[in-house]
Structure 1
Amino acid sequence: MKITGIRTFLMHAGQPDPSKWASDERSGEGASTQLRGTRNWLFLKIDTDEGITGIGECSGWPRVIETAIHDLAPLLIGEDPAHIERLWQKLHIAMMGHGMLGTVGGGAMTGIDMALWDIKGKALGVPVWMLLGGKVRDRIPIYSHANTPERALAIKQRGIKAIKCGGVADPVRKVAALREAVGDDMDIAIYLHGPPWLTPADACRLVRALEPYELMWVEDPIAPDNLEGYKRIRDAAHVPLAAGERSATIFGERELIERELVDVIQPDTGRAGGITQMKKIAAMAEAHHIQMAPHSGSLGPVAEYAALHLLAAIPNALILERLDDDWDGRRRTIVPHPEQVDGLIAVPDAPGLGCDIDEEFVARFPSGGNVSVPVPEAAGSYNPGTYNEHLYVQTRVARRSYFNR
Structure 2
Amino acid sequence: MKITDVKIIVCSPGRNFVTVKIFTDEGLTGIGDATLNGREKAVVAYLEDHLVPLLIGKDPSRIEDIWQYLYKGAYWRRGPVTMAAIAGIDTALWDIKAKAANMPLYQLFGGASRDKLLCYVHAQGSEISEAVEAVGKRMDEGYKAIRAQVGIPGLPAVYGTDKSSTNTAALNALPNEEVWSTSKYLRHVPNLFSALRETHGWDVELLHDTHHRLTPIEAARLGKDLEPYRLFWLEDTVAAEHQEGFRLIRKHTVTPLAVGEVFNTVWDARLLIEEQLIDYIRMTTVHAGGVTSLRRIMDLAGIYNVRTGCHGAMDMSPACFATNMQLGLWAPNFGIQEYTEYTPETLEVFSHNWSISDGYLHPGEAIGHGVDIDEELAKKYPYEPAYLPVNRLEDGTLWHW
CA separation in 2, counterparts of 1:289 and 1:309? 20
CA spacing shift, 1:337–1:374, aligned 2, 3 Å: farther
Matching residue of 1:66: 44
Q: Describe the SS at the equivalent of 1:67.
A: helix
Unmatched tracts of structure 2, length 5 or more: 125-130, 150-158, 160-181
Matching residue of 2:66: 87
Matching residue of 2:210: 192
Matching residue of 2:6: 6
Q: Describe the SS at the equivalent of 2:268.
A: helix
- How far has the Cα of 1:13 moved from its partner? 4.4
Matching residue of 1:306: 323
CA separation in 2, counterparts of 1:181 and 1:64? 47
Matching residue of 1:362: 378
Q: Describe the SS at the equivalent of 2:316.
A: coil
- How far has the Cα of 1:390 moved from its partner? 1.6
Note if contact 1:138-1:347 (Cα within 8 Å) is conserved in structure 2: no
Q: Describe the SS at the equivalent of 2:269.
A: helix
Matching residue of 1:26: none
- How far has the Cα of 1:178 moved from its partner? 3.2
Matching residue of 2:133: 150
- How far has the Cα of 1:127 moved from its partner? 1.2
TM-score (norm 1): 0.84
Matching residue of 2:399: 391
* Of 57-66 and 71-80, the range deviating more from structure 2: 57-66
Q: Describe the SS at the equivalent of 1:273.
A: coil
Q: Describe the SS at the equivalent of 2:74.
A: helix
- How far has the Cα of 1:50 moved from its partner? 0.9
Q: Deviations over 1:81-111 (max 9, x none)?
A: 00110000000023233xx311101111111
Q: Deviations over 1:15-52 (max 9, x none)?
A: xxxxxxxxxxxxxxxxxxxxxxxx42211110111110
CA separation in 1, counterparts of 2:311 and 2:265? 14
TM-score (norm 2): 0.84
CA spacing shift, 1:383–1:347, aligned 2, 3 Å: closer
- How far has the Cα of 1:364 moved from its partner? 1.9
- How far has the Cα of 1:302 moved from its partner? 1.1
Matching residue of 1:207: 223
Q: Deviations over 1:302-352 (max 9, x none)?
A: 11110111011111001110112x523232232135221101122321211
Share of identical aligned residues, percent? 34
Q: What does 1:46-65 align with in structure 2 at a 5 Å threshold?
A: 46-60=22-36, 61-65=39-43
CA spacing shift, 1:314–1:177, aligned 2, 3 Å: same
1:49 maps to a residue whose letter is: D
Note if contact 1:308-1:348 (Cα within 8 Å) is conserved in structure 2: no
Q: Deviations over 1:273-296 (max 9, x none)?
A: 111111111110110011011112
- How far has the Cα of 1:383 moved from its partner? 4.4
Matching residue of 2:97: 120
2:74 maps to a residue whose letter is: M
Q: Describe the SS at the equivalent of 1:280.
A: helix
1:158 maps to a residue whose letter is: E
RMSD: 1.8
Q: Describe the SS at the equivalent of 1:278.
A: helix
1:165 maps to a residue whose letter is: A
Matched, 1:276 2:254: no
CA separation in 1, counterparts of 2:5 and 2:133? 48
1:370 maps to a residue whose letter is: A
Note if contact 1:269-1:296 (Cα within 8 Å) is conserved in structure 2: no
Matching residue of 1:24: none
Note if contact 2:3-2:60 (Cα within 8 Å) is conserved in structure 1: yes
CA separation in 1, counterparts of 2:132 and 2:345? 26
Matching residue of 1:401: none
CA separation in 2, counterparts of 1:157 and 1:359? 37
CA separation in 1, counterparts of 2:63 and 2:199? 48
Matching residue of 1:139: 116
Among 211, 227, 246, the residue aligned to 1:230: 246
Q: What does 1:246-325 align with in structure 2 at a 5 Å threshold?
A: 246-297=262-313, 298-324=315-341
Note if contact 1:149-1:177 (Cα within 8 Å) is conserved in structure 2: yes
Note if contact 1:348-1:354 (Cα within 8 Å) is conserved in structure 2: yes
Matching residue of 1:171: 189
CA separation in 2, counterparts of 1:93 and 1:202? 39
Note if contact 2:363-2:370 (Cα within 8 Å) is conserved in structure 1: no
- Count of residues in Structure 1 that have an aligned counterpart in Structure 2: 356
CA spacing shift, 1:337–1:390, aligned 2, 3 Å: farther
- How far has the Cα of 1:391 moved from its partner? 2.5
Matched, 1:180 2:198: yes
Note if contact 2:80-2:287 (Cα within 8 Å) is conserved in structure 1: yes
CA separation in 1, counterparts of 2:25 and 2:101? 16
- How far has the Cα of 1:199 moved from its partner? 1.4
1:217 maps to a residue whose letter is: W
Matching residue of 1:96: 75
Matching residue of 1:25: none
CA separation in 1, counterparts of 2:28 and 2:334? 30
Q: Deviations over 1:332-389 (max 9, x none)?
A: 23213522110112232121112212223322221212323345xxxxxx543x2x32
Q: What does 1:331-342 align with in structure 2 at a 5 Å threshold?
A: 331-342=347-358
Among 19, 39, 49, the residue aligned to 1:43: 19
Note if contact 1:57-1:303 (Cα within 8 Å) is conserved in structure 2: yes
Note if contact 2:207-2:233 (Cα within 8 Å) is conserved in structure 1: yes
Q: Describe the SS at the equivalent of 1:146.
A: strand
